[in-house]
Amino acid sequence: MHFLTRIYMFGVGFVVIAITAVTLSISFAALVYTGPLSVFLGQGINATLLGAAIMALVGSFFLSVRGSICNPQDVTAVLIGAAAAGIATTGNVPVEHLFPTVIGLIVTTGIFTGLVVFLAGAFKLSALVRYAPYPVIAGFLAATGYLLFMGALSIAARETVSISNLTMLFHSVAIIKWVPWVAGAIFLTFIERRQASELTVPTVLSLSVLAFFALLGICGYSLSDAMEMGLLLGPFDNTSFSLPYNSDFFAKIEWAAIASAAPTLIAVSGLTLLGALLNGTGIAMTLGAKFNSEQDMKATGLANVASATVAGLPGYVILGESILARRMGLRGQVPSLASAAGCLAALYFSADILAYMPAGLLVMAVAYLGFDLLATWLWESRNRLSRFEYGIVVLIVAIAATVGFLLALAVGMLAAIAIFIVSYANTEVILSRSTGATRRSRVERSEEESDYLSKVGSELVVLDLTGYLFFGTAHRLSEAVQSELSSERPIKYLILDFRRVPGIDTSATNSLAGMLETSEQAGVKLFFTGMSEDVEKQFALASPHNEGVKKIPNIDAALEIIEGDLLSEEPGGARVESARLMQLIERLEVEYHEDPGALERITLAPGEKLIRLGTISSECYFLLSGTLRAEIEDQSGNRVRVAEFQPCALVGEIAYYAEVPRTAWVIASTDSKVVRVDLKRMERAPTQTLIEFHKAAARSLARRVMRMTRLTSEL
């Protein structure tokens, strides 16, 4: 029984997917071949069905997510329909040249789109499309919904309908041709959004067809009567289909008219790329499959080129139909085969049979697609977007309705860019501000030198910058620098750290040059630190005469230079000799002279190791002269300097007091002399001096922690 159920679901699913593909393909063809082009609808339907079948078959072999169906899309059909209507209504193309020119437009657009999308996949450029602003995408989809609704009305009126001639529907088009079907589309939209189900759309459309023919019978109308009243899709003037590639056909193509539609080619290719990425990602997430964007772009490109050879409409992976197929039990390549089989079957039985399809069914299907997009992106998006972003959506729809779709996208993109620039210009370009009182280099100094640097640290200001610097943010930075230069507490040094700045423009470079000149006039030394190679190159190109600017590779190096300058200005020159820790060491050497292992003077040559990483010891070290450096290994195994020790600095006291293994190597940078202090050994016979030494070391650690706490608060 379970096997029979699966067979039944498979059969139903196959038929539903086939019918859905045929219905949508015919609907999209009707969007293109409308108004003056409606006489070619029969041939257009045949071309669209054959192209859809080819597209589905090619996609079935090459798409990364098995079960995805590649078919023509409403978005691309709307754009081509608008371009085709423009060609048909300008009067520049003779009537006998209309159909060849439209076919030429479709073929050119399909091949161009296919090549663009294929190359995007081949060169791995598909990710660039994801940078499209979300409000523009939302506005584009909402505007597409509006154009689909207008397209549905155009199918009913059999001529192009826009907001400018909308009243024509009430005067020259019978109400029965469009009002019931539009009402049905509204009902279908309401039901689908309230109680979503994969079978809702095909079921409601099927019941609508049955109700239509039932009403015809009740009212006593025959199919011929309905045909004469324009209630059916036919009659078609020419239902034959053959590949129209011959010299006479090509001679009738107005290539100038196609060239004027170049923006449409660009828009269709871009939207195909975007739609394929979004829908492919959505299908992969829904089905729990792995999505390969590059592979799908190449597959979509091939499918479009193959479809274009028979004048099929451009398209990409269709989301709803693919998910519906999976949920109805169709796996692998079966959904695509069902879609292709349905289109080929409809093509085989010719458009004569399709002529008896209710025209209102296409009106209802297309209007439903439009209402669904409008409900999602124009109505519901108001709760997800900011006021300005939602304004872009409304603006795009309004311009699309009154002026044109492509212009609406362009204006929407410009509006999104303008809002981004204004918003970004108002962001804080200064990530943090700190002073030399708390911001120190990696050089460990004596307690007295550290105290002095804390005292005069307000003379140094550090501004950590963030984000791209352009004319908007550079102005805010210039104001901040001017505020520092004119503050009540004068400063001598100013550091601008560019470590988090990915780039600058020419306006920002000129602004930086102005800051340099202003700081020189104020007697303040300005340092630029952490500039990337690109930022430094841009600054050099735009300001070749600012050779005197102090550009330091990193902020630690700049801090070290400034600290040295500040200490050189300290009154008195006996800092090292009078250091408190030095005095304590000398007293300890006297008190523990009978225990030579308690304190030991060591001489180190450059490069000689004092402490090894990971070792455990009971001592710390006091640097008498020379310079030591602490190093660790980075992820690549390279040694990196993390600290430097100057005379009268304690070394290794943190690991000792924390009772943890050594966290770095300590190596002599120059000829150095240190005193090894074995605290564990001396604690066997503690003296008052040893207690004072512990207090001094604790005080040094406490001040370092306090300085870090203040720095954290400033940052």
> pLDDT of 51-68, one tens digit each?
999 999 999 999 998 889
How confident is the model over 563-606, as pLDDT tens digits?
A: 888 888 766 543 444 477 888 888 988 888 888 888 889 999 99
Confidence of residue 105 (pLDDT cuts 50, 70, 90): very high
Confidence of residue 1 (pLDDT cuts 50, 70, 90): very low
Give the least confident one: 251-255, 280-284, 398-402, 649-653: 280-284
| Dist CA 484 CA 683 (whole Å) | 51
Mean pLDDT of 128-139: 73
SS3 content of the chain, % helix, strand, coil (to 5): 65, 10, 25
Q: What is the pLDDT of residue 104?
A: 93
Q: Up-side HSE of residue 85: CA atoms within 13 Å toward CB?
A: 24
Q: What is the pLDDT of residue 57?
A: 95
**Residue 3 confidence (pLDDT) above 70:** no
Q: What is the pLDDT of residue 674?
A: 93
Give the least confident one: 274-278, 319-323, 475-479: 319-323
Q: What is the pLDDT of residue 399?
A: 92
Confidence of residue 27 (pLDDT cuts 50, 70, 90): confident
Four-residue CA torsion sign, 91, 92, 96, 102: negative
Mean pLDDT of 121-138: 76
| Dist CA 135 CA 152 (whole Å) | 25
How confident is the model over 505-527, as pLDDT tens digits?
A: 888 888 888 888 888 888 899 99
Q: What is the pLDDT of residue 325?
A: 76
Sheet with 525-529: list strands edge to edge. Answer: 430-435, 460-466, 493-500, 525-529, 550-552
Dihedral (Cα; 143, 148, 151, 152), 10-degree rounding: -140
Check residue 499 and report its DSSP letter. E
Q: What is the pLDDT of residue 668?
A: 93
Sheet with 599-604: list strands edge to edge. Answer: 599-604, 672-678, 619-625, 650-651
Q: Which two tokens stand for residue 29?
A: 């063809």
* pTM, rounded to two decimals: 0.60
| Dist CA 343 CA 338 (whole Å) | 9
* 659 Cβ neighbours under 8 A, 6+ residues apart: none
- CB atoms closer than 10 angstroms to residue 578: 12
3-state secondary structure (DSSP) of residue 651: strand
- Beta 599-604 vs 609-611: how paired, if at all? unpaired
CA 160 to chain centre: 37
User: 300 vs 101, 269, 284, 394, 685, CA distance in Å?
Assistant: 25, 11, 16, 31, 84
* CB 430 within 8 Å of CB 438: no
**Residue 116 confidence (pLDDT) above 90:** yes
Q: What is the pLDDT of residue 573?
A: 46
Mean pLDDT of 353-362: 79
Q: What is the pLDDT of residue 709?
A: 67
Q: What is the pLDDT of residue 449?
A: 82
Give the least confident one: 4-8, 299-303, 412-416, 507-511: 4-8
| Dist CA 496 CA 485 (whole Å) | 13
Q: What are phi and psi of 156, to 5 degrees?
A: -70, -40
Angle at 261 between CA 316 and CA 150, to 5 degrees: 65
* 241 Cβ neighbours under 8 A, 6+ residues apart: 43, 46, 47, 50, 347
Q: Chain-wide mean pLDDT for the chain? A: 83
Q: What is the pLDDT of residue 40?
A: 87
**Residue 677 confidence (pLDDT) above 50:** yes
Structure-model confidence comparison of residues 711 and 255, the more confident one: 255
**Residue 122 confidence (pLDDT) above 80:** yes
Structure-model confidence comparison of residues 666 and 683, the more confident one: 666
How confident is the model over 66-93, as pLDDT tens digits?
A: 889 999 998 899 889 989 988 988 878 8
Confidence of residue 130 (pLDDT cuts 50, 70, 90): low
- Stated as kind and residue range, the H or E segment containing 465 is strand 460-466
| Dist CA 24 CA 49 (whole Å) | 10
Q: What is the pLDDT of residue 109?
A: 96
Check residue 378 and report its DSSP letter. I
Q: Which two tokens stand for residue 522?
A: 């104020």
| Dist CA 643 CA 650 (whole Å) | 12
* CB 324 within 8 Å of CB 40: no
Tell me the one-letter amino acid at 287: L
Mean pLDDT of 197-216: 84
Tell me what percent of the residues of the chain surpass a pLDDT of 90: 21
